[in-house]
Structures are given as structure tokens and as C-alpha cells.
Structure 1
Amino acid sequence: MTVLAPSDDIAALLAIMAKLRTPGEGCPWDIEQDFASIAPYTIEEAYEVADAIARGDLSDLRDELGDLLLQVVFHARMAEERNAFAFGDVVRAITEKLIRRHPHVFGQTPNLTPAQVKDLWDRIKADERRAKAEERALRGLPAPSDAGALAGVPAALPALTRALKLQQKAGRVGFDWNDVGAVIAKIAEEASEIAEARRAGASDDVVAGEVGDLLFAAVNLARHLGVDPESALRGTNAKFERRFASIEAALAARGQTPAGSSLDEMDALWNAAKAAEKRPGT
């Protein structure tokens, strides 16, 4: 029996994954997985990487990056079992892509500004999409369904992030507001439409649609202000958790719980926690 040990060599990780997937001697749970069943874990691990970064925990980040790398190795192993591709093919594909998309580093277009680099990256990606569509046509396959200006925004992205990317793509072809003031006015308009829908007794689906429009407009405002909406909301979530924990602690000191307290009591404690956060040295 092959003895596997911890190692900093990627070959060891590939060997461990192969062992886990080997019928008769591997792990029953790992063996029964497929791409679809593992995909949610891949998304979850990416979020845990982002969480470690937000917390500034580099030790945890190391571990979470390892968990994310495992997802790549897992998918590559399953593909290799189907004779589709292997881990080495994944590495080759990304190295080719990085070299192709950085001609200012590896080619003949040096000394570009960051803005020029971004424009060049977008043009190269567009060329890649066209080449892929042409290659599919030569093989008699239908064109990708996302071949328009909004192409390449995965449906599985978090809704705020996906809204941001859709707006960025639309903006590149001129479909955008000219100033922040217009976006703020749009937010006010969307909020009033929610109120009007409620006054008119609109269905839950209609109200939900209006709320979605308001959220989309809020993402647009964040984009125009140079704020990442996903990061901003994560920060606000953390702030809410922190202040609510302060409310719970203050109530517990009085022998109370949130469920047994009035909204006025909790609101006063919320304002106290908010004020404490703003005081210097606290």
C-alpha cells in the first residue's frame, strides 16, 4: 500500500485525491461525488477565502486557500476519470491565458497605464469569445447563448456582484447614467414605486420585482461611487452583528433577552452601541 504524507508538492495532493477517488480503497463519500454535487462546496470555499481576507486572518487564509485548491484538484480528477482533461491541462490553460492577456508584460506593448491594461484585457477577452464562437461554428455547434455585450457574467454569482458586472458591461457600450445625481434620483424613483405598489395592493411578486429594481439601482450607485457593493454589504452585516451583540449583552446584564424587551429599549441600546463605536479610543 502506498503511504502518503503531508507535502508542499502539488504531486502529493494529486496522488491523495486519486487515492480518495479509487473504488475499493478510497473514500465512499468522495467516490460518489460528481461535478454538480461538488460545485456548491467550491462556491462555499471561495466565500470562506473572502471571509478570511475580510477578517485579516492570514493563518486562516492559508488554510482556506488550501480548501479552495482542493476543489480545483477534485474537479480535475473527476474530469481525468472521464478522459476529458487532467490537472496539468488546467495549469496549461491558465498559464496560456495569463500570457495571452498580458502582452504588456510578455509581449511587445510595454509601459501601459492601469486603465490601458484594463481596456486591453477586455479587448482580448472579447477576441477570445469571438474565436470560441467561430470554433463552435466550425464544429457545427450552436453559438453560445451569452454572445452579446453582457456575455461572460456567470448566473451563479452572488446577486449583488452579478448586478455590478452586468452594469459594468452595459456601461462599456454606452448604456449608463452620466452622473451620480441621476442614479440617486433613480433610487428615489424606485423607492416610490414600491410604496405605490403597496398602496395599489399589488401582488407579492410585483412588490418583489420593485424591491429588486431598488437593489439594482443601489448597486448602480455603489458602482458610480467606486464602492464594491458586495464588500460594502458584508461590512454592514458585520456592523449589524456587532451592534446587535452589544444589545444582547446589555440586556443580559439586566437579566433580560431581546424577545422579552420592547423595541424602544433595544433601539436605545442600538443607538448607545452606535455612539460608542464613534467615540475615539473605544
Structure 2
Amino acid sequence: MPLTPPASASTPAASFERLLAIMDDLRANCPWDKKQTLESIRHLTIEETYELSDAILSADMPEIKKEVGDIMLHLVFYAKIASETNAFTITDVLNGICDKLINRHPHIYSDTEVNDDADVKRNWEQIKLKEGNKSVLGGVPASLPALVKASRIQEKARGVGFDWEEKSQVWEKVEEEMQEFKNEFNAEDENSIDHDKAESEFGDLLFSLINYARFININPEDALEKTNRKFIKRFQYLETRARENGKQLQDMTLAEMDVFWNEAKKL
């Protein structure tokens, strides 16, 4: 006999209770939901996070709303699974994050004074150390993509005052790293290179560029993804124009492809 679904709600609290009730129903009655573990839905959560990221970059508000809901479902799912072994409950999760936010915002919930968001970030990192973190960088997940990880490392170091004073200094570092990379890999020199050294210097160059991007308020992950999307759009235009002219890209010269590429750049 089918269950009666919880009715739609008009307040945040009631809506959340509705989701919890549905989660209870699914966990008790759905063969797929009953089989899931913390580990089995982990990769799905990662996928949903990337889908939310795509929606944000596309400024697609209906899609953002949908993906936020999907991620919220996953969070409730984790708490439900954990509650079955008395590890923790959704109430524990919510109280935990509330307590952390209160503790880390003493300028709101206590008498600490701040002048700007930089003060807030510094206080945040100092409070984390008092909470037991052995390193300011300890909260950076090891599995983060390297580009995002570099940004987070630099932001956290800045939070305790380890940073350049002027953006001109950062740009000088970029130029220094570029020269060191060129010394290891001269594009005009056909001699073999020391791959390990060149790779190391290229990494240093990327790290310094990410640092400079931070100083001029550019998110390097967003910037690179937008360039990726721009390239995809132009390349797909190139493919379409080639087909319209009865040609295959592999049979075209670079000069022929450049004609369509330049068309794409004007769109």
C-alpha cells in the first residue's frame, strides 16, 4: 500500500521537517536507498557539487535551486545513515555548525572588534588554532584539485599575516618564476631538458600566478573554467563550420581552421 507523502510546507522549518520525513520513508522502504552507505553516496555528492558549480558559472538560477536541493538531500542522507549507528543525528550536525559559527564570529556574538573582512579571516584562523588545529594549513583537504588547493593555501597563510605587502611585489615574483622556468625550458633551444626541474619551475610559476590573481581579486579556478568554456564554444563552432563546408578538421590546414576560429571569436 503506497505511503501518503508529506504535504508541501510554507516555512523553512516545516520544509526541512518534510525532507527529513521523506528521507525516513525512503530509507525504510526504497530498495536502493536502503542499500546506500556513507561510502556509496560519496562520489554522487562530488558529482552534485560539480553540477552546482556548473549552474553557478552559467548563472542559471532554476538549476542552482535544483542542485542546492540535491546537495541538501545528500547531507540529510549522511546524517540519516549515521543516526542508525548512533554516530550522530541531523540535530547534532545542525547544532554543531551553529556552535562553530557563533564561536568563530566573536565580533557578532561577543565584544571583539573588527575593521574589515580581513580582520574576520585572521580571527577565524586564530580561533581554529585554539580549537586544536596544529597547522593553519591543516584544514586544506589533501584531495582538493591542485589549482583550488593553491588558492586555499595562500588564503590561509594570508589569514595569519604571511603575505606580500604590495601586488607589485607579487608580480615581480611572477616574472622571477617565469625567468627560472625559461632557464630550464628554453622554447628556442632544441636540446633535451631536465624534465623534473622544468616541471618544478612550472609549478612555481603557476603558484605565483595564482597568488597574483588573489591580489587582484580574480578567482583562478573560475577564470580558467570560463576560458575552458570559451575554447569549447569556439572549437565546436569550428567543427560545425568545417562540416558545413564538407571538410574534416584533420584534413584542413591550420590556416584554413584559423578562418573559422576568427569567425568564432567575433560571436
Shorter-chain TM-score category? 0.7 to 0.9
Aligned positions of 1:1-282 closer than 5 A:
2-5=3-6, 7-8=8-9, 9-22=15-28, 25-28=29-32, 30-109=33-112, 112-130=115-133, 147-171=134-158, 172=160, 174=162, 178-195=169-186, 199-200=191-192, 202=194, 209=200, 211-274=202-265, 276-277=266-267
Alignment RMSD, CA only? 2.7
Distance 1:6 1:27 in 2: 23
SS at 1:4 equivalent: coil
**Count of paired positions:** 256
Structure 1 residues 19-71: Cα deviation after superposition (integer angstroms, max 9, x where no partner) = 2222xx3223x223222222222122122212111111111111010011011
1:241 Cα shift?
1.1
Q: Which runs of 5+ in 2 are unaligned?
A: 10-14
SS at 2:41 equivalent: helix
Cα distance change of structure 1 residues 62 and 149 upon mapping to structure 2, 3 Å threshold: closer
1:101 Cα shift?
1.5
Distance 2:198 2:181 in 1: 11
Q: Percent identity?
A: 39
SS at 1:76 equivalent: helix
Are the counterparts in 2 of residues 34 and 78 from structure 1 also a CA contact under 8 Å? yes
1:126 Cα shift?
2.2
1:268 Cα shift?
3.0
Cα distance change of structure 1 residues 72 and 198 upon mapping to structure 2, 3 Å threshold: farther
Q: Which runs of 5+ in 1 are unaligned?
A: 131-146, 278-282
1:238 Cα shift?
1.0
Distance 1:38 1:195 in 2: 47
SS at 1:37 equivalent: coil
Cα distance change of structure 1 residues 246 and 76 upon mapping to structure 2, 3 Å threshold: same
TM-score by length of 2: 0.83
Distance 1:198 1:91 in 2: 60
Q: Residue type of the partner of 1:107?
A: S
Distance 1:69 1:102 in 2: 24
Q: Residue type of the partner of 1:34?
A: T
Distance 2:153 2:57 in 1: 24
1:206 Cα shift?
6.5
1:186 Cα shift?
0.9
Cα distance change of structure 1 residues 36 and 106 upon mapping to structure 2, 3 Å threshold: same
